[in-house]
Amino acid sequence: MPRAPEPIDEIVDMPRERHGLPKVAVVLALVFVLFGGLVVGGRSWYQRQLDPPGPQGEPVDVVVPNGARLTDLGSILGDADVVANATIFRFWIRDKDIDLQAGTYRFRRNSSFEEVEEVLRGDPRVVATTDVTIPEGLTIDQIAAKIPEDVPRFTQEDVLNALADPANRSRFQPGDQPSLEGMLFPSTYEVGPQDTASTMIRRMVDEMDSQAVEAGIDVGLTGDRLPQLDPYQIITVASLIERESGNTDESPRIARVIYNRLLEGIPLGIDATSAYEAEQAGTELDFESDSPYNTRINTGLPPTPIAAPSRASLDAALNPATGPELYYVLEAEGQHFFTADYDEFLAKKDECEAKGLGCG
């Protein structure tokens, strides 16, 4: 007996729809589209950092300081709006074969990296510098007042802070002496746009150290009838000579009088030391003061130099004349009379007063 036909839904195995695969494909397609967009967009953004849209802007002078490396230029040029992205520029420039020189370069704002590179491969522009002349015999307070007069961008506070900076100490400055009095060499200094008050003071200190070494301060005083003085004391003597002598030909003889008096234990009697103290304290000149700067009363040297000595005064302090002289007094403008005889000194002093040369 024939079997009845089976229901169609039992004998026909209809394929099921697979909904998962098209969804994965769509997601992957979207990922590729987004990734491609990011790549294209990122590349476009990167190109805009290398070469920003629009024309170059106005010229701008940028100082590249001494010791700067290529990688230091990113922030310098970014701050000046020369490059669009300081970080990318730093990575872009680091492997370039450029002999970077310190100085002032003229760039244009909104420049491409290649335009910046072209400028850096040239020499710095010649930029006007300022000459600052520090005369011999000035105190540090006078120097601190003069520098801002010649370089207005340096305030007096800038200079005073530089003078107090321990980084600017002289190699001949005692550890317990904070003042740079007498340690700044008087000369003409060229101040460029990259200089600060501190770099200028450092240069003046270095120049004094160098001049003192050239004069022989490391060797010290050698010869007959000379006291044992350290370099700082020799610079102090040079400052006394600077304030006492208006004639460099006489400076070695003044040095000899100072050394003879030190050896004899006689007060130096140099009124310029008392005048220095009065100037520093803002008080009247007092020759009766018990201050260590009063060399009419106290024996020995004052505690510090009293002015910036010249090279001629350093040379005189290290190479004094020979002789027994203990006294000197003006006998004409810029000319002194020297003697070892006290009575002769008094007679010449009376003549000086009579001539009105200021020998009181």
Rounded to two decimals, the pTM is 0.69
DSSP state of 16: P
DSSP string, 250-265: GHHHHHHHHHHHHHHT
For residue 55, the model assigns a pLDDT of: 87
Instruction: Answer whether 308's CB lies under 8 Å from 247's CB.
Output: no
Mean pLDDT lowest among 9-13, 127-131, 312-316: 9-13
E strands, the chain, are: 59-64, 103-108, 130-133, 188-191, 327-332, 335-339
pLDDT of residue 12: 46
Provide mean pLDDT across the span 290-304. 96
Provide the token pair at 20: 């998962």
- What are all long-range contacts of 153-161, with beta carbons under 8 Å and residues at least 24 apart? 154/196, 154/197, 154/200, 155/197, 158/196, 158/197, 158/198, 159/197, 159/201, 161/197, 161/198
pLDDT, position 269? 95
What pLDDT does residue 356 have? 85
pLDDT at 322 over 90: yes
Predicted pLDDT at 10: 47
Q: Is the pLDDT of residue 179 over 80?
A: yes
Distance of CA 301 to the CA centre of its chain: 30
Closest CA to 86 of 52, 115, 118, 49: 49
Q: What percent of the chain has pLDDT over 70?
A: 87
Band of the pLDDT at 139, cuts 50, 70, 90?
very high
Average pLDDT over residues 171-194: 94
User: Pairing mode, if any, of strands 59-64 and 335-339?
Assistant: unpaired
pLDDT at 358: 77
Question: If DSSP codes are grouped into helix, strand and coil, which group holds residue 330?
Answer: strand
**Mean per-residue pLDDT, 197-223:** 96
Range with top average pLDDT, 53-62, 131-140, 220-229 = 131-140
Domains of the chain in sequence order: 59-120 (3.30.1490.480), 130-215 (no CATH), 231-354 (no CATH)
45-92 pLDDT, tens digit per residue, is: 778 888 888 888 899 999 888 778 888 999 999 999 999 999 999 999
C-alpha distances (whole Å) from 325 to each of 321, 339, 340 are 10, 5, 4
pLDDT, residue 140, reads 96
pLDDT attached to residue 1: 45
Q: Between 287 and 308, where is the model more confident?
A: 308
Least confident of 34-43, 150-159, 209-218, 258-267: 34-43
Check: CB of residue 255 under 8 Å from CB of residue 221: no
Give the mean model confidence (pLDDT) for residues 141-160. Answer: 95
Give backbone dihedrals phi and psi of 330, rounded to 5 degrees, phi first: -65, 135
